[in-house]
């Protein structure tokens, strides 16, 4: 009987050693993803969203812990051809202004129109994504999320495509979730140091983005991801926090909370709803030449 027990224990011990060595092999042999692989992964997120990704959210702000009187209601659309953003601004619940902007990916052309309560309208247009909602970081995105402080209009996908990034050989846990760390710094030509933490379990979408400058640090946290369509992941909320020191040497913390109210992927959006037409006679500004003109 003792001999049988010894045999069983020996078999169990050998099996445990094999299992342990196998799991170690898988852990140690996990390869660091290449830049091309990360670009492809994010492009899959984009293609799986086709013909359109449509997201609506509300934004509220806090200054040093105190809620501000302003808020926004936003509708964002991404298709293979365009990025569209409509932002309605409110103060104490009263509508103050609507801004619409549209960026055409193939032609690298951007245009925007602002509508005030008085009915007055003004427009702008230019080459590339201008300093606006689409490039400010005040938007919820996973593929084309702006990384502020790198270059105007440079998104996470743009940065990876440029190849001017470092990929850390070790993962870092964000809220207990292991993520690959992608970073850029001044030695690579950036104005500010930045890091993006990409989660392989959700198609390498970002869990966290950190941007460090001389006087301000910014973090963007993407929270509660859900799979909204096969292979397409999107957060239920996003929190952007800015910490720094103002001109008077006083510390501050500004926070914006973005709460998703509606999101869909793979459903077409009518072209008319994302078009921008300048009414005849309104004032336009050509941002490439700084000329002002009247719309025909």
Residue 19 lies in a domain: no
CA 250 to chain centre: 29
Residue 21 lies in a domain: no
The pLDDT, as a whole number, for residue 2 is 46
% of the chain surpassing 90 pLDDT = 75
Q: Which of 148, 139, 158 is nearest to 84 (CA)?
A: 139
Residue 16, pLDDT > 50, answer: no
**Domain count for the chain:** 1
- Domain of 119 in residue numbering reads as 31-294
Residue 178 lies in a domain: yes
Residue 209 lies in a domain: yes
Q: Which helix (H) or strand (E) holds 37?
A: helix 35-49
Residue 8 lies in a domain: no
Q: Which of 230, 93, 224, 204 is nearest to 142 (CA)?
A: 204
Residue 9 lies in a domain: no
The domain spanning residue 176 has which CATH number? 2.50.20.10
- Residue 29: exposure state from Cβ atoms within 10 A (0-12, 13-18, ≥19): exposed
Query: Cβ distance 89 to 72 under 8 Å?
Result: yes
Between 79-83, 107-111, 145-149, the lowest mean confidence (pLDDT) is in: 145-149
Interval 112-140 mean pLDDT: 91
**184-196 pLDDT, tens digit each:** 988 888 888 999 9
Tell me the pLDDT of the chain averaged across its residues. 88
């Amino acid at each position: 009987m003792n001999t049988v027990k010894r045999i069983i224990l020996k078999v169990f011990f050998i099996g445990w050693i094999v299992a342990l060595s196998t799991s170690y092999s898988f852990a140690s042999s996990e390869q660091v993803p290449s830049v091309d692989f990360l670009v492809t992964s994010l492009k899959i997120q984009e293609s799986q969203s086709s013909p359109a990704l449509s997201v609506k959210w509300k934004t509220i702000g806090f200054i040093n812990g105190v809620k501000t009187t302003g808020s926004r209601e936003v509708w964002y659309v991404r298709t293979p051809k365009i990025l569209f953003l409509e932002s309605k601004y409110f103060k104490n619940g009263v509508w103050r202004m609507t801004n619409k902007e549209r960026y055409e990916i193939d032609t690298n052309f951007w245009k925007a129109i602002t509508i005030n309560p008085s009915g007055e309208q003004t427009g702008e247009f230019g080459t590339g994504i201008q300093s606006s909602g689409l490039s400010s970081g005040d938007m919820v995105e996973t593929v084309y999320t702006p990384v502020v402080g790198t270059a105007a209009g440079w998104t996470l996908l743009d940065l990876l495509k440029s190849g001017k990034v470092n990929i850390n050989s070790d993962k870092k846990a964000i809220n207990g979730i292991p993520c690959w760390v992608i970073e850029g710094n001044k030695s690579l030509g950036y104005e500010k140091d930045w890091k993006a933490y990409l989660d392989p379990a959700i198609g390498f979408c970002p869990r966290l983005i950190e941007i460090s400058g001389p006087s301000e640090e910014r973090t963007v946290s993407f929270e509660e991801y859900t799979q909204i369509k096969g292979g397409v992941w999107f957060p239920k909320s996003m929190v952007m926090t800015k910490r720094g020191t103002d001109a008077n040497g006083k510390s501050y913390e500004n926070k914006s909370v973005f709460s998703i109210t509606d999101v869909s992927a793979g459903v077409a959006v009518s072209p008319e709803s994302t078009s921008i037409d300048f009414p005849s006679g309104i004032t336009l500004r050509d941002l490439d030449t700084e000329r002002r003109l009247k719309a025909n």
